[in-house]
Amino acid sequence: MNIKPVAGAIGAEVSNIDLRNPMTEDMKRNLRDLVNQHEVVFFRDQAITPAQQRELAALFGPLQSHPAYDTVPGFPEVMVLESTPERPSKIEVWHSDMTFRQHPPSITVLRGVETPSVGGDTLWASMTAAYDALSPGMQRYLDDLIAVHDFSQGFRESLLEDGGRERLADAVANNPPVRHPVIQTHPETGRRAIFVNALFTTHIEGISPLESAEVLRFLYKHCTLPEFTCRLRWAKDTVVIWDNRSTQHKPVNDFFPALRRLHRVVSEGDAPY
């Protein structure tokens, strides 16, 4: 494998590897080490099947499904993320995947199935780099705080659509609000990472609504400073693997009327601590 970092804080592009081939135990360890070190890794020209994508994600742990997304027929763990002019993506803010779960995903594996010729990039930001850049006083203030994450907040636009509340009734019922630490410890690297996001976090417990709103507003701005980020221009059969515990990401929806279709598989993580 050849490894080329793409930005100072986060991201690497990996070449000279074919993800369709079976991996040795050494290769599996190297892949996990790469994700731990760079937090998001990019692979070009990887024409993997849904079954192979599922197997790749399963290297990192048991797989999760999603209560609101369509999936590839016969592969309930392979979610279809599709944006069309008729059904554009509603998610446009920085976020970590599925933090409304008690056990959010540890790793996300995303593949470009159909991508626009221009636009539709995705950005990632390192939450470990963002935490390290906080002042010691702010780190101490945040370290013991707890935030609430809610499926209904992240999917509020879908819930407001005609029939949306009925369509997502089971998802809402099965995903009540959960509590996660504002700062979590990465279970493999031991690094501290900011763990709130604008899509699913509703508030911080134990402080006033005004203080909660202002602290979250600061963190959202701080976490996405350019020096903590990298950016990917998608192409067909690009595969991205990232650590959902220590990153946030943001899709750029600037490609309509073109179509973008991605396949996503996530592996289950530990409860954040």
- In degrees and rounded to multiples of 5, residue 16 shows phi and psi of 60, 45
Exactly one of 95, 186, 245, 263 is catalytic; which is it?
95
Half-sphere exposure of 212 (CA within 13 A, CB side): 17
Q: Is 249 annotated as catalytic?
A: yes
Exactly one of 38, 66, 97, 149 is catalytic; which is it?
97
Sequence-distant (6+) residues with CB within 8 A of 78 are 50, 53, 54, 71, 72, 263, 264, 265
Pairing state between β 75-83 and 192-194: unpaired
Which strand ranges, in their side-by-side order, compose the sheet holding 201-204? Answer: 178-181, 146-149, 201-204
Q: Is 95 annotated as catalytic?
A: yes
User: Mean pLDDT across the chain, nearest whole number?
Assistant: 94
Half-sphere exposure of 101 (CA within 13 A, CB side): 19
What's CA 230's distance to the chain center, in Å?
Answer: 14
pLDDT of residue 83: 87
In angstroms, the CA 230 to CA 238 distance is 16
| Per-residue pLDDT reduced to its tens digit, 119-131 | 999 999 999 999 9
Q: Which two tokens stand for residue 202?
A: 């509703």
Confirm whether pTM is higher than 0.85. yes
In angstroms, the CA 262 to CA 81 distance is 5
| Per-residue pLDDT reduced to its tens digit, 52-72 | 999 999 999 999 888 777 899
| Per-residue pLDDT reduced to its tens digit, 223-269 | 999 999 999 999 999 999 999 999 999 999 999 889 999 999 999 99
Q: Looking up tokens 């692979």, which residue turns up?
A: 43
Q: Is 264 annotated as catalytic?
A: yes
Q: Which two tokens stand for residue 30?
A: 């190297």
Q: Which two tokens stand for residue 154?
A: 């992240």
Exactly one of 111, 149, 249, 260 is catalytic; which is it?
249
Sequence-distant (6+) residues with CB within 8 A of 247 are 10, 39, 40, 96, 124, 125, 126, 127
Q: Are 40 and 11 in contact (CB under 8 A)?
A: yes
DSSP label at residue 95: B
**Section 182-188 average pLDDT:** 97
Residue 146 bridge partners (DSSP): 181
